[in-house]
Structure 1
């Protein structure tokens, strides 16, 4: 039995065109429908013209990705803190970083998402959306990621304002929470911190299987450690330690806090921390007051309070969540063991993996350029030969480069 191919295909120049019936074509894929909008572009349902398989295609607008990249670079230049205007040397630092970014883009068409690609190409789990192909549309300045089709969309749409969503049923709440828990356990076992756990990144398949997606904010702590630098993610789901000025935090507890916020939303149809601005939301998180609307459920609220424990050192761990009575349904429900859940261990994802994720492309580009030059040379040779032949046939003079000169018209 052959091992499943988990490689990712990269298309450096993917053409976006129109089909005969007026539909949209992206490379070898026919766009069937629009599934929704993400923070960086549109998500489509698409069909492979080669295999007939149906996928989701995430569109990444490079302009938005560049803004995110620049913000991250400036935070790094400021020691992890947000950029503030009017500080000495900041303009020069920004210009330097923009130049560096431009040089990277010239040599690597996918550099804006290379960390996400390095992570995604190595993951294999039933509750994580698989990446199949990446396409670069140079004409429209867009990247496309071909992933597992999750055509039922986000498990829930929650707002950080006072707007409410429909709570999930008790059965669905437990089912989708355990799906997300298993995906998060698998990531953490690989040394990956997701950093943007939220319902928008939990998509449902036609068979109601939850798949975690979007690794654009994910990070792999250096040297196999657990410390991460800088705040990242969606404010309403951020742990309190991310709302402070700490230069480093432990990554796993922050993901667990975010999953606890998701569970709260599943149950109550709203978020525990809300506000009309980012600062309002941060103030709400910092205050730490959590209310529990609706019927009282001691086990559920105990789990929520432990997942949203303000101190990351005493926050509940995934191993402890596994044994919690609400998860086990008082011993009537059993999760797959950690050994089974994390059986597909991937190789350690190193900085070299990130830097070289598209190395085969770099080897191909010179060949593409060489063939393009060869075609131009062949065309010039062919044109010159045809010109010489016409000159012989019509006895026309040639210029110094072998081009036929147009004879002067006789004067009347």
Structure 2
């Protein structure tokens, strides 16, 4: 299909100038754009709420944003920088992957040399292990969703079918989704499945495609293809090495209980070569406790997705709220130009002075209790020198507002830049 002509230069909310049409995704038009703030090249996914966001597409948009929000600190996962929203449009600002996807990578006789396939596959596995440690299963892995940046590094994208921890039932997933040729047999059988094991199967198909130049299970008759998948009915071309065959065979195990786990892939003989030291060094960054603690998101910068529902003019709450948001009884938010430490110290001071018990959670949130009233205060850095502070009453909201709120408002005034009153027509936050 012929691509439409590039749009005339136009800007999005004074921040990004569209320069080239890139294509259409599952629920968005995608453009290359130029940042008017720092000159960076980015990709913009433009979603028309009135035409695109219906009951079927809404969960996919929510999943993609939530998953990318949780996973954005891994170098091989496409980073989402910011969300811009108006009453009719939602713009997702993401990394620009100038190298296209793995399908567009010029092959040698329809396949990649093992050294290059190993590099891409190592980056894919590293990214997915990071996803799984944070409770996210991708569920739609295929070369079209694996992008390359200008430096030739892989970026996992398109989390619209991903599963988050809250989607588990009895520890398993139950939704059948994905692209049949890359989908694990347990999903095709429509039984409960482990998302990380299903992703491992898809990785086996991808590695086969990179090395062979074609699919292992390829049949225009979908039921016949599903039968071949369940029987592990495929053949290796002669040029694939014995070590690579062994790894693919272990990944394409129809029994998820005996299928190799992605966390064990780097111990496979195929990676025991001169590049293994570099691969292991890269992996060690994501193994460290410090990195995993940082990636919980606290104090790394609050995302627009966390606070976009603040704008009543946008009416985006149904799209971006989580279950916990919908259950919130009472909440006040304010911005501050003080340091995180200063705001936290002030919250504790006010709480103690007003007779509240004070506890600090593992993620830095401050819990306070007095009688039947319980509240949580969270401090987020929006951009440097600008904080968002959320005061959430989880129990006794009416009592807190009637008896305590005025004292809290007066006590916090030294660190408050402004209280939020939900009158904005635009929510736009950067990291």
**1:102-113 equivalent positions in 2, closer than 5 A:** 113=61
Partner in structure 2 of residue 341 of structure 1: 286
Does residue 232 (structure 1) correspond to residue 219 (structure 2)? The answer is no
Instruction: Report the alpha carbon displacement of residue 278 of structure 1 after superposing the two structures with TM.
Output: 4.3
Whether 1:307 and 2:251 are equivalent positions in the alignment is yes
Measured after TM superposition, the shift of residue 348 of structure 1 is 8.9
Count, aligned residues: 301
Deviation at 1:116, TM superposition (A): 2.3
**Residues in 1 aligned to 2:228 and 2:195: alpha-carbon distance in whole angstroms:** 21
Mapping of residues 208-357 of structure 1, within 5 Å: 208-222=152-166, 226-246=171-191, 248-276=192-220, 278-329=222-273, 333-336=277-280, 338-343=283-288, 344-345=291-292, 346-347=295-296, 357=305
**Distance across 1 between alignment mates of 2:99 and 2:127:** 19
**Aligned mate of 2:75, from 126, 133, 138:** 126
Tell me the distance in 2 between the aligned counterparts of 1:348 and 1:26: 27
Q: Tell me: CA distance 1:136–1:285, structure 2 relative to 1, closer, same or farther (3 Å).
A: farther
2:54 aligned partner: 66
Partner of 1:145: 92
Give, in whole Å, the separation in 1 of the partners of 2:250 and 2:8.
54
- Is 1:52 the equivalent of 2:45? no
Select between 119-128 and 297-306 the one with higher mean Cα deviation. Answer: 119-128
**Could you tell me the TM-score, scaled by structure 1's length?**
0.64
What's the C-alpha RMSD, in Å, of the aligned pairs? 3.4
Give the Å deviation of 1:313.
Answer: 0.3
What is the deviation of 1:296? 4.5
CA-CA distance at 1:286 after TM superposition:
2.9
Question: Equivalent residue for 1:22?
Answer: 8
Structure 2 partner of 1:398: none
**Greater strand percent: which structure?**
2
- Asked whether the 8 Å contact 2:76–2:153 carries over to 1, the reply is yes
Note the 1:56-95 alignment, pairs <5 A.
Answer: 56-60=43-47, 63=51, 66=54, 68-69=56-57
Using the TM superposition, give the Cα deviation of residue 46 of structure 1 relative to its aligned residue in structure 2, in angstroms.
Answer: 0.5
Task: Quote how far apart the aligned CAs of 1:365 are.
Answer: 3.5
Match of 2:338 in 1: none
Q: Is 1:195–1:217's contact at 8 Å kept on the other side of the alignment? A: yes
Once residues 280 and 25 of structure 1 are traced to their aligned partners in structure 2, the CA distance between those partners, rounded to angstroms, is: 50
Consecutive unaligned residues in structure 1, runs of 5 or more: 1-18, 70-109, 159-163, 373-412
Task: Sort the Cα spacing of 1:121 and 1:296 in 2 relative to 1 into closer, same or farther, 3 A.
Answer: closer
User: Are residues 281 and 68 of structure 1, via their aligned partners in 2, closer, same or farther at CA, if it must alter by over 3 Å?
Assistant: farther
- Structure 1: distance between partners of 2:137 and 2:260: 16
For structure 2, the 5+ residue unaligned runs are: 1-5, 315-419, 426-431
Between the aligned partners of 2:190 and 2:236, the Cα distance in structure 1 is 29
Match of 2:26 among 13, 36, 39: 39
Measured after TM superposition, the shift of residue 136 of structure 1 is 3.6
Q: 1:188 deviation in Å? A: 1.0
Q: Residue 240 of structure 1: CA displacement?
A: 0.4
Structure 2 contact 125–262 (Cα < 8 Å) conserved: yes
